[in-house]
A = this chain, B = another copy of it.
């Protein structure tokens, strides 16, 4: 965390991240950013030139820090698990676990996920280049892992499976504010995060017709 370079610069990035995630780039003024971290209004232009450039610096950092490398790591020791359906299922569980870890269980500030959703919703061409460099590689690795889980799977099928995994998880991030205003919905506590992890893993494992690991077996008469 090389913060010693300039503490205001880091403070601006953090404050901007929180505000961009909550209200969007257009909905956030540089005055609001500066006030949030008790900096001068001119500090934004001094450190980043323009508001847009601040945004680009910010999302590059967020995308670098939130890469999901589990799938890539798995592909490097493919021979250890790819032949064994049960280990494939466990590999899937590990990937889902890592994604949930990134955005829910405190590895990163809570607003990282929401900012990531905003980038997905409205990726400018400039952002597109950063994405292709960082995010798409992780996505390709994920598709490779999924192809190992079901030999003979086509490229198009693996994309559908990757979409299923990502879609089920991102849903909780980008619709969080809506879901939490539904009466009776569970809060995003540890128990809920664990239930999401188990549920999504089971959906994928059963969908890919893999054997269910023992620790994911459902206990009967739980209600």
Contact = CB atoms under 8 A, between A and B. Distances in A.
A202 B169 CA distance: 18
Contacts of A182: 132, 136, 139
A167 interface: yes
A117 interface: yes
A186 B156 contact: yes
B121 A223 contact: no
A191 to B, nearest CB: 10
A26 interface: yes
Contacts of A223: 152, 154
A105 interface: no
State the oligomeric state as a number of copies.
2
A174 B117 contact: yes
Report the contact-size class of chain A (Cβ under 8 Å from the partner): 35 or more
Nearest to A205: B207
Nearest to A184: B155
Contact of A174 (B114, B120, B131): B120
A169 to B, nearest CB: 7
Contact of A123 (B181, B202, B206): B181
Nearest to A27: B26
Contacts of A79: none
A188 B223 CA distance: 41
A160 interface: yes
Q: With a 10 A CB-CB cut-off, give which of A121, A172, A185, A196 has the most chain B CB atoms.
A: A121
B199 A185 contact: no
A152 B218 CA distance: 13
Nearest to A119: B178
Nearest to A161: B199
B154 A222 contact: yes
A204 to B, nearest CB: 8
Interface string A189-223: 00000011001101110110100000000000011
Contacts of A27: 24-27
Listed from nearest, the 10 A-B pairs whose CB atoms lie closest are: A167-B171, A26-B27, A26-B26, A203-B207, A160-B199, A167-B168, A120-B175, A120-B178, A154-B223, A128-B181
